[in-house]
């Protein structure tokens, strides 16, 4: 199951952290809830305003009852009504997850944003965004970035110098 919250708390400088904690508590994450309110026998992943619960259908259904109880107590709402349905294929964090065949790949939305080849001319901002997307995609697809460590480190230093006005 993939669940999305409808609103991020606004007006706080630490708004993403607040939303992460709220979502973890609603998801029954053992790190943020008491043992009596934690979900068990499933894997729960929380990312700011998304909750992904995976496991056997029976365990996910039991965990969802707990999560929905937490949601009701917090007066939270889900973004999509059909997000509560059990699914074996869905987008989460820019990746398409297909559990029935145990595969993940870049979602169509993310794949459109990545060019087939590095552009011949680019700005620092465009290059930084592209590298961020490539690193994110590599993490989800489990592509090791060790061989690119020094290039990425060099690029980070160049961008930092540019941001400080040294270039």
Burial (0-12, 13-18, 19+ Cβ within 10 Å), 76: middle
**Which has more confidence, 59 or 10?**
59
pLDDT band (50, 70, 90) for residue 16? confident
Please give the average per-residue pLDDT across 68-77, as a whole number: 84
10-23: string of b/e by CB count within 10 Å (b at 16+)? eeeeeeeeebbebb
Q: With beta carbons less than 8 A apart as the criterion, state whether 63 and 39 touch.
A: yes
pLDDT of residue 11 exceeding 70: no
What span, in angstroms and rounded, lies between the C-alpha atoms of 20 and 16?
A: 6
User: For residue range 115-156, what is the model confidence (pLDDT) as tens digits?
Assistant: 777 777 777 777 777 777 777 777 766 778 787 778 888 887
Q: Which residues are registered as beta bridge partners of 2?
A: 52
- Please say whether the beta carbons of 98 and 89 come within 8 A: yes
Q: What is the pTM of this model?
A: 0.51
In the prediction, which pLDDT does 160 show? 80
């Amino acid at each position: 199951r993939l669940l999305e919250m409808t609103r991020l708390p606004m007006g706080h400088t630490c708004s993403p952290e607040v939303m992460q904690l709220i979502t973890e508590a609603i998801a029954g994450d053992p790190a943020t809830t008491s043992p009596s309110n934690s979900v068990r026998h499933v894997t729960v992943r929380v990312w700011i305003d998304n909750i992904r619960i995976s496991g056997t259908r029976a365990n996910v259904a039991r965990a969802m009852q707990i999560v929905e109880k937490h949601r009701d107590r917090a007066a939270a709402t889900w973004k999509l009504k059909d997000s509560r349905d059990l699914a074996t294929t869905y987008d989460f964090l820019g990746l398409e997850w297909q559990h029935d065949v145990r595969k993940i790949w870049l979602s169509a939305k993310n794949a459109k944003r990545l060019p087939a080849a590095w552009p011949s001319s680019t700005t620092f901002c465009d290059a930084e965004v592209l590298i961020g997307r490539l690193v994110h995609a590599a993490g989800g697809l489990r592509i090791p970035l060790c061989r690119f460590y020094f290039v990425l480190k060099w690029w980070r230093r160049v961008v930092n110098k540019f941001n400080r006005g040294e270039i």
